[in-house]
Homo-oligomer: A and B are copies of this chain.
């Protein structure tokens, strides 16, 4: 069974060929599903878009709770999930935590989802 969270941060660029090549092994499917699951949430998608839309490319948590309309612990939770999936990076500057997207991860995902032909 594939149940059970993937705890450690996923390898920078994870898996596999275009998804529509060979019949995806169990392990690859689990890994890819974990990363997609991290994305498959409205709040996290909006977080990603907010990070990407920033001129500087990184945003501190305090600027994210407002636009999302979620509590600070919840935002921290979502950012942690995204971080563990290797989709964002965290940089702490004194008391503030600045998050930014990892373009390579999204590039890899886009290629995996590339349609046949």
Contacts and interface: CB of A to CB of B under 8 A. Distances in A.
A37 B44 CA distance: 12
Contacts of A105: 115
B103 A49 contact: no
B109 A113 contact: yes
Chain A interface, DSSP helix/strand/loop, else mixed:
helix
Contacts of A30: 42
A46 B33 CA distance: 10
Interface residues of A, number: 42
Given A103-B115, A113-B110, A113-B113, A19 B48 contact: yes
8 contacts: A24-B45, A29-B43, A36-B40, A39-B40, A40-B40, A106-B113, A106-B115, A110-B110
